[in-house]
Structure 1
């Protein structure tokens, strides 16, 4: 990303808007996987009872056989509805394009646990392979900061920062010095 593009993105975020180049952060691979699974679950929840009723029971259908045919479809339909709800929240975040800003003093605790609640907290944990993993806690939610995202390098500890989140799905979009 060039300096001019980064300045444009930061200006949009400071105005509380999601920049069009950041839509990919909301509609990422997780979104598309959930969308495909929701569609497949809906098709399966409809097709499973229909094929089961036609082949197994024929025209004479009793009440017990209806329950037996619908039994496997209900959990699949519930899961598909939940995945569709999650996808709908992300789509609404992109459609509205608003961001929630959390501004406050950023405390870097390293590997220690915070003694109380702070607006923005940086933490470090050791994983099983003894690699350090960085986390940001803001708005009551913990976000993992991946090395490839570049957010960890932009956060300046022990000063005021502003964290930008999507309002519905609570995804970390950007962190800027306040």
Structure 2
């Protein structure tokens, strides 16, 4: 028994249409119609948040004025509660990831938490290139005593004072 070429062509068409439908459905369901090449992901325990940079100048370094405006925007967003936010408990593990092209330029991440001996700042990830994930660290070490910890992710060359992109996330400590 052999299959007719028309039957084979029809089966092939069904497979192609089905694959296209599934792919389109996944993109639609995730709400992502276009790929963003500058993203950072905050992972807390088993959940994660993906965000575009709060401050970005089309891949060019941010000027001093841009950086000042960025800090003001972040401060206001923190007050308004509009930063990407995740609940955290001290037993959670926290990590940060970035898109491959961000890793290519270089990046680092830190929080405004940590012990006073660290100056109230905790490094989640020291400057590195070509690495997309910081690794997971204990939330107990990096949280701010106020219960609201700001996580900052910066893209840029470590030899430059002007970053290329900046992301902010907020961690809310739960009891």
Q: Same fold (TM over 0.5)?
A: no
Normalized against structure 2, the TM-score is what?
Answer: 0.25
Normalized against structure 1, the TM-score is what?
Answer: 0.24
Higher relative contact order, structure no. (Cα contacts within 8 Å, ≥ 6 residues apart): 2
Greater per-residue strand proportion = 2
Larger radius of gyration: 1
